[in-house]
Chain A
């Protein structure tokens, strides 16, 4: 199986919502690759607020989202929805 292309947008130290717009722009640009499953879009951010706003928006746009806590920052993974829809568990898995 071919390796997925990972596009990383490092927003650490920066403040949204410019980040949000940039993220949306990148998603718009990469939508074919991500929705096709060839690519994943990772956002590294230390803004806790973004872990809510970004997933809310991208779920409505039809992506799967996973938020992972890493050392000193969060990694928001945006990927193709498998099985046609976002599993409930994925939404529930969001940190409060």
Chain B
């Protein structure tokens, strides 16, 4: 290329004006070329280096024009590319799941994607509107973010933007210009409402998982443990790390065979779950019962992904169930079988005996006068005596025999496989002998004897009820014969047992059928031999059986509770009668009425007495109530208040059968009692037995020292009267003076007494 400066040949010959015009044209061309080159971004031409001829020859404007064509075409391409890129970006923004809003420095919206338009802006007309106008609720949150961005010019995130019931994880990203000035901010809002709900649910579930009382095992589809909770650890003794990745079969107790587990997994596969009881084994080797519920967790396509097993340790329930079972069939005091279990065993034994043509025996055992001990020494001592008695009885039996406690002081024994009734007699003798030695209980040396009745299968009965009933009847017979003995059942006894039942039924009607009577026995002032009062005694005139002795029907009345209405009748009748006599005879001071323990127990005795006094119009000072020593001392604490309340009414109280039970002198002092009645058993031999005389003398002295009067019961001879009078006894009662007589006869006695000249 030759760029040497060469003058244009024609110019030298050209006229001056043309030359000037030429130079001006050249200058113009140079200027315009320089201008165009500068626009293109490059430098002007150097006039010194490029002479005019070369300049023209090069055709610079042509070159530049051509280059400009290229520039224009390039600009067009770039514009197309930019338009494409802009659309592309909008499409990308629209295709993302989150809402994106771009704002300028004035927080005015300059762009938003489709999701934002739908979920946040709710409008197509959002461009250049302030963000705060649209997102009013969330104003605080994004304004804080914007301020922070303005400060730091770095990305800001917040996970807690709440807007229109949705939670958003929001990221604000700054866009800066080339000088680093904040130009725009891109807000992207990811809706995390669902995730938050899931998280909340998971948090809740994890609290449940760890805080339930049930053990939980979660396994994968291959039945490898992937999670257990704390209660599982407590229940089984295995730590989490020890079981993760293992099979739940490490809990296997070995108490179930393969078919058990096969059936279980078959159930799970078919129904998705299984529930039942099984035995597992703790880490320390102890097997324990669990209630287990296994559920299969399925993927959407129905294939199992996990198994969840919930374990409830039911060993405590099982134990208490066992205890309940025990209680249902045993007496809690002596731990012996109870009536229910005994009856079941006896029933079973009867069937076996029938089939094998064998004999069996039922022995009914009742402890003699146990009630006295219970009443006088209290239930605690009584209970201990029962336990000790049960032990003595049990010690003499074979393991195959059954002994049960029926309640109270009643025991019953079943002897199976008996060949010879003599063997039973031998056993009963041994049982009696076992009670010869006294029981030592809480510093008390107690002596008690059993009475026993025996019935035999099949001779005396072939079913439970008959055998027990007949053994009971035989036992009563033994009691009647003087206690501390045994009796075999006889058919005569059966008749008597039936009589007893008949008697009970009759007694229920006796009151309404007006079969009850009161007889009166006078009480005599020993110093002058005159009647001062009477004891009312109950009699029953049965239309067919004739008079029935009180010792036969009163215990029956007490047992059945009939004593309460009967007692009221007695009280009212006696009071009415006494009212008449008191009115007529000034020397007749009072009527004594016996009160049974049963009447005390109801808690209504005081109001009853008060009512009867009102009905009869008898003054309280003319009424005396008699209570037996054994009852009074047995229930001392409970009785004191009632006795005081009775005394408040103004009546007097006496202790009956004194000397037969155990009296506490402390209580005797506290009781508001006016009289002691020496029991007839001491009076009977008082003239012949120095011991009885000593007792009578002591009772009289004791009573007097406590300001009580003494009544001697059962005086039959003048000698007895003389001796007791000599010892200072105040009042007397007995056949020597009069047997108990009906009211009319007693009225005659009173009339005679009056005639003696009072």
The interface of chain A, by Cβ under 8 A from chain B, is: 14-18, 20-22, 24-25, 27-28, 31, 49, 53-54, 56-57, 59-62, 84-85
Say which residue of B46, B66, B81 sits within 8 Å of A28 (CB atoms).
Answer: B66
Contact indicator B43/A24 (Cβ below 8 Å): no
A31: which B residues are within 8 A, CB to CB? Answer: 70
Cβ A28 vs Cβ B70 within 8 A: yes
Supplied contacts A16-B46, A17-B44, A56-B41, 5 more A-B pairs, CB within 8 Å = A17-B45, A17-B50, A18-B54, A24-B66, A54-B42
Q: Is there contact, CB below 8 Å, between A57 and B63?
A: no
The reply to whether B46 and A15 form a contact with Cβ atoms under 8 Å apart is yes
B45 to chain A, nearest CB (A): 4
**B 104-139 binary contact with A (CB < 8 Å = 1; else 0):** 000000000000000000000000000000000000
Taking a contact as CB atoms closer than 8 A, the residue among A16, A17, A21, A61 that contacts B70 in the complex is A61
Query: Would you call B71 an interface residue if the criterion is a C-beta within 8 Å of the partner chain's C-beta atoms?
Result: yes
Question: Which residues of chain B are within 8 angstroms of A53 by Cβ–Cβ distance?
Answer: 41-43
List the 3 shortest-distance A-B pairs measured between CB atoms, nearest first: A62-B74, A56-B41, A28-B66
Interface code B1-45, partner A: CB below 8 Å = 1, 0 otherwise?
Answer: 101000000000000000000000000000000000100111111
**Chain B contacts with A in 58-112, Cβ cutoff 8 A:** 58-60, 63-64, 66-67, 70-71, 73-74, 77-78, 81
Query: Is the beta-carbon distance between A24 and B41 smaller than 8 angstroms?
Result: no
The complex places the Cα of A25 from the Cα of B41 at a distance, in Å, of 16
Pairs across A and B, CB under 8 Å, 15 listed: A16-B49, A17-B45, A17-B46, A18-B45, A18-B50, A22-B58, A28-B63, A31-B70, A56-B41, A56-B42, A57-B41, A60-B41, A61-B40, A61-B71, A61-B74
| Interface pair B67/A24, CB less than 8 Å apart | yes
Specify which chain A residues have a CB less than 8 angstroms from the CB of B42 in the assembled complex. 17, 20, 53-54, 56-57
Least CB distance from A35 to B in Å reads 9
Assess whether A60 is in contact with B58, with CB atoms less than 8 Å apart.
no
Evaluate contact between B67 and A27: CB separation under 8 angstroms.
yes
A22 surroundings in chain B (CB, below 8 A): 1, 58
Residues of A within 8 A of B63 (CB): 21, 24-25, 28
- Name the A residues within 8 Å of B70 (CB-CB): 27-28, 31, 61-62
Residues of A within 8 A of B50 (CB): 17-18
Contacting pair B71 A20 (CB below 8 A): no
Please tell me if the beta carbons of B43 and A60 are within 8 angstroms of each other in the complex: no
Cβ 8 A contact of A18, one of B58, B64, B66: B58
Residues from chain A with Cβ under 8 Å of B73 in the complex: 62
Return chain B residues, CB-CB under 8 Å to A62: 70-71, 73-74, 77-78
**Majority-rule SS of B interface residues:** helix
Q: By the criterion CB–CB under 8 Å, are A85 and B81 in contact?
A: yes
Contact at B60–A21, with CB atoms within 8 Å? yes
Contact between B67 and A16, CB atoms less than 8 A apart: no
CB of A16 within 8 A of CB of B64, answer no
Bound CA span A1–B81, Å: 27
Measured CB to CB, the closest approach of chain A to B62, in angstroms, equals: 8
- The interface residues of chain A lying within 8 Å CB-to-CB of B74 are 60-62
Q: Chain B residues with Cβ under 8 A from A27's Cβ?
A: 67, 70
Using a CB–CB cutoff of 8 Å, the interface residues on chain B facing chain A are 1, 3, 37, 40-46, 49-50, 54, 58-60, 63-64, 66-67, 70-71, 73-74, 77-78, 81
User: Across the interface, which residues of A come within 8 angstroms of B81, CB to CB?
Assistant: 84-85
For residue B704, give the distance in angstroms from its CB to the closest CB of chain A. 134
The residue of chain B having its C-beta at the shortest distance from the C-beta of A25 within the complex is: B63
The residue on A at minimum CB distance from B70 is A61
Residues in B with CB closer than 8 Å to A17 are 37, 42-46, 49-50
Residues in chain B near residue A85, CB distance under 8 A: 78, 81
Distance to closest chain A CB from B89 (angstroms) = 15
In whole angstroms, what is the CA distance A85 to B58 when docked?
31
Known: A28-B63, A85-B78. A16 touches B43 (CB 8 A): yes
Smallest beta-carbon distance A5→chain B, Å: 19
A49 in contact with B3 given A24-B63, A28-B67, A61-B71 (CB within 8 Å): no
A59 to B75 Cα, complex, angstroms: 11
B37 adjacent to A20 (CB under 8 Å): yes
Q: Which chain B positions have C-beta within 8 A of A20?
A: 37, 42-43, 45
Chain B residue with minimal CB distance to A35? B70
Q: Do A18 and B71 have beta carbons less than 8 Å apart? A: no
- How close is A21's CB to chain B, nearest CB, in angstroms? 5
Q: How far is the CA of A49 from the CA of B49 in the complex (A)?
A: 15
Q: Bound state CA distance, A21 and B37, in angstroms?
A: 9
Which chain B residues lie closer than 8 Å to A25 at the CB level?
58-59, 63, 66
Contact A60 B40 (CB under 8 A): yes
| Given A61-B70, A61-B74, A85-B81; A49-B58 close (CB under 8 Å) | no
B residues near A28, Cβ cutoff 8 Å? 63, 66-67, 70
Which of chain B's residues have a CB closer than 8 A to the CB of A16? Answer: 43, 46, 49
Interface contact B67-A61, CB-CB below 8 Å: yes
Which chain B residues border A15 with CB–CB below 8 Å? 46, 49
Chain B nearest Cβ from A58, distance in angstroms: 9
Bound CA span A27–B40, Å: 14
Instruction: Determine how close the nearest CB of chain A comes to the CB of B95; give it in whole angstroms.
Output: 22
Complex Cα–Cα for A31 and B68 (A): 12
Q: Are B49 and A57 in contact (CB under 8 A)?
A: no
Which residues in B have their C-beta under 8 angstroms from that of A21?
45, 58, 60, 63
Contacting residues, chain A, for B78 (C-beta < 8 A) = 62, 85
* Residues of chain A contacted by B67 (CB below 8 angstroms): 24, 27-28, 57, 61
Q: Are B71 and A24 in contact (CB under 8 A)?
A: no
Q: Give A30 to B686 CA distance when docked, in angstroms.
A: 163
Expressed in whole angstroms, the Cα–Cα distance for A27 and B45 within the complex equals 18
CB distance from A78 to the nearest CB of B (A): 12
- Cα-based distance from A84 to B59 in the complex (angstroms): 31
Q: Are B66 and A49 in contact (CB under 8 A)?
A: no
B-side contacts of A18, CB under 8 Å: 3, 45, 49-50, 54, 58
B636 to chain A, nearest CB (A): 113
Residues of chain A within 8 A of B64, CB atoms compared: 24
CA distance A83 to B63 in the complex (A): 27
Within the complex, the shortest CB–CB distance from A70 to chain B, in Å, comes to 22
The complex places the Cα of A36 from the Cα of B554 at a distance, in Å, of 136
Residue with the highest number of chain A CB atoms closer than 10 Å, among B63, B66, B71, B73: B63
CA distance A14 to B40 in the complex (A): 22
A74 to chain B, nearest CB (A): 16
How distant is the Cα of A73 from the Cα of B583 in the complex, in angstroms? 163
Complex Cα–Cα for A57 and B44 (A): 12
**Cα-based distance from A94 to B560 in the complex (angstroms):** 125
Q: How far is the CA of A61 from the CA of B41 in the complex (A)?
A: 10
Interface-centre pick from A21, A57, A84 (highest chain B CB count, 10 A)? A21
B3 close to A60 (CB less than 8 A):
no
> What's the least CB distance linking A64 to chain B, in Å?
11
A49 nearest CB neighbor, chain B only: B43
* Cα(A14)–Cα(B1), bound, Å: 11
Q: Which of A14, A57, A61 contacts B3 (CB 8 A)?
A: A14
**Cα distance, A61 to B71, chains bound together (Å):** 4
Closest to A9 in B: B1
Q: How far is the CB of A77 from chain B (nearest CB, A)?
A: 17
Residue of A nearest to B65 (CB): A28
